[in-house]
């Protein structure tokens, strides 16, 4: 999507081409204050970039890990080297299933090959996974924008459709376009008048920092709100639809996404406002069925993300300030589960379905056997 009016991806190969390809990412911890591209030259770099959230968002974590495997194949293309790289990358963040999906796709592709061929094929396959992600997000944009068009109040086509989103499920969370924001981008480019309420998403503020930045670059009207304002907006009729992303969706349609998503879904349900999740196939965990969402590993991150707030100081430096009493106990759960019963529909690259086993199986009959976790 656009940055300073130029099409940009969240991960790409560095230009001009080097002797050996080097992936390049945006250090998202510095946004919205600074747009800094960082080279990933080693497996260590890839591992660190995911763990420290220079890259984040389920699909982008998966693609970065795929490039991490390619970098690992450059220094140790042996089977044991690849398996150890996959283990290290898989330990970085536990909740997004896309990580597991991308790593097993890479290992499956590389294992049968002679070690000398593995690096080149790994780079090709990582690029193919990135392109597949872009295609999936574009298709989600198409199907989701049809949902948005139908929600425009009849008789009031000139009024802006009011959309509430949480965290960042835009192009920064994927390779391009995003999941929850892809329908917004597509509808906006097609001329649908809309406005996005962006919840700030404490503790890391992916909404306030990343979503607001993305939407601003695309010229989309938006307003940042504190997380706890959503209920008020929903109850007073100022939201027409909620769209969120997902880090892991069970085959029964339960959606695990950034902490705070569940509360929005509860409030939307109470207020009769539709709540959609944008779900690429790579985010579906077919191993988890009815009643099994509780076994999704919920990431718990460092308490300093809660006790401190990070931002730009008046002197232009990035800094953190403490907001809790010194030594105060804090808890920092990264994700929560929204049960399928609160989800109006799942917007996938293959169309929109009811949040249920039957709904997902109708769109993904080839993957719904329950045995293939890769989706
Ligand atoms: O902790 P993060 O920033 O990686 O969490 C991101 C989210 O929760 C997104 O909503 C999710 O990954 C879907 S991204 C298209």
Could you tell me the residue ranges of all domains in the chain?
2-132, 143-368
For the Cβ of 247 lying below 6 angstroms from any atom of ligand 1, the answer is yes
For the Cβ of 288 lying below 6 angstroms from any atom of ligand 1, the answer is no
Spacing of C-alpha 192 from chain mean position: 24
Q: Tell how far the Cα of 224 is from the centroid of ligand 1, in angstroms.
A: 18
Residue 345 above 50 pLDDT? yes
For residue range 230-257, what is the model confidence (pLDDT) as tens digits? Answer: 999 999 999 999 999 999 999 999 999 9
For the Cβ of 57 lying below 6 angstroms from any atom of ligand 1, the answer is yes
Q: Report the sign of the C-alpha dihedral through residues 275, 280, 282, 287, in that order.
A: positive
The pLDDT value recorded for residue 374 is: 44
Ligand 1 atom closest to residue 61's alpha carbon, by position in its atom list: 4
Q: Minimal CA–CA distance to 179: which of 167, 193, 162, 189?
A: 167
The pLDDT value recorded for residue 373 is: 42
Q: How confident is the model at residue 372 (pLDDT cuts 50, 70, 90)?
A: very low
Neighbour-count burial of 358, counting CB atoms closer than 10 A to its CB (0-12 exposed, 13-18 middle, 19+ buried): exposed
For the segment 345-353, the average pLDDT, to the nearest whole number, is: 98
Residue 157 above 70 pLDDT? no
Is there a contact between 355 and 293 (Cβ–Cβ < 8 Å)?
Answer: no
Nearest CA to ligand 1 atom 5: 57
What's the pTM value of the predicted model, to 2 decimals?
A: 0.96
- What three-state secondary structure class fits 113? coil
The pLDDT value recorded for residue 369 is: 76
Fold for 143-368, please state it: Rossmann fold (3.40.50)
For the Cβ of 201 lying below 6 angstroms from any atom of ligand 1, the answer is no
For the Cβ of 167 lying below 6 angstroms from any atom of ligand 1, the answer is yes
Structure tokens at 319: 């800094």
Ligand 1 atom closest to residue 93's alpha carbon, by position in its atom list: 4
For residue range 97-156, what is the model confidence (pLDDT) as tens digits? Answer: 999 999 999 999 999 999 999 999 999 999 999 999 999 999 999 999 999 999 997 766
Residue appearing with tokens 């992600």: 133
The three-point CA angle 307-197-285 to 5° equals 75
Q: Could you say which architecture CATH assigns to the domain 2-132? A: Up-down Bundle (1.20)
Q: Tell how far the Cα of 113 is from the centroid of ligand 1, in angstroms.
A: 33
Which residues, 6+ apart, have CB-to-CB distance to 2 below 8 Å?
8, 217, 218
Residue appearing with tokens 């920064």: 172
To test ligand 1's pocket by mutation, which of 95, 139, 247, 285 has the most ligand atoms within 8 angstroms of CB?
247
Distance CA 179, CA 141 (A): 7
């Amino acid at each position: 999507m656009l940055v300073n009016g130029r099409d940009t991806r969240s991960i790409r190969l560095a230009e001009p081409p080097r002797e050996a390809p080097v992936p390049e990412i945006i250090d998202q911890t510095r946004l919205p204050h600074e747009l800094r591209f960082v080279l990933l030259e080693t497996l260590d770099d890839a591992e660190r970039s995911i763990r420290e959230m220079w890259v984040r968002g389920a699909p982008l974590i998966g693609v970065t890990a795929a490039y991490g495997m390619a970098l690992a194949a450059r220094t140790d293309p042996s089977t044991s080297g690849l398996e150890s790289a996959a283990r290290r990358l898989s330990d970085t963040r536990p909740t997004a299933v896309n990580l597991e999906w991308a790593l097993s796709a890479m290992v499956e592709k590389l294992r049968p090959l002679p070690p000398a061929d593995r690096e080149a094929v790994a780079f090709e396959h990582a690029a193919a996974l990135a392109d597949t992600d872009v295609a999936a997000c574009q298709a989600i944009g198409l199907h989701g924008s049809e949902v948005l068009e139908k929600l425009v109040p009849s008789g009031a086509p000139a009024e802006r459709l009011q959309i509430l989103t949480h965290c960042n499920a835009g192009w920064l969370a994927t390779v391009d376009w995003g999941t929850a924001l892809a329908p917004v981008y597509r509808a906006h480019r097609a001329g649908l008048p809309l406005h996005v309420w962006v919840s700030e998403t404490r503790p890391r503020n992916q909404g306030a920092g990343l979503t607001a930045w993305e939407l601003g670059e695309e010229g989309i009207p938006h307003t940042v709100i504190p997380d706890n304002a959503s209920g008020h907006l929903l109850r007073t009729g100022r939201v027409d639809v909620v769209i969120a992303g997902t880090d892991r969706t069970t085959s029964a349609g339960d959606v695990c996404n950034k902490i705070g998503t569940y509360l929005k879904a509860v409030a939307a349900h109470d207020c009769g406002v539709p709540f959609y999740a944008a779900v690429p196939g790579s985010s579906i965990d077919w191993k988890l069925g009815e009643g099994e969402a509780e076994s999704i590993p919920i990431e718990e991150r460092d308490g300093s993300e809660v006790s401190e707030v990070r931002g730009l100081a008046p002197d232009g430096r990035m800094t953190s300030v403490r907001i809790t009493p010194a030594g105060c106990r804090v808890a920092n759960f990264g994700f929560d589960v929204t049960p399928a019963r609160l989800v109006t529909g799942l917007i996938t690259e293959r169309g929109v379905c009811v949040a249920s086993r039957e709904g997902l199986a109708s769109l993904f009959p080839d993957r719904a056997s329950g045995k293939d976790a890769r989706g």
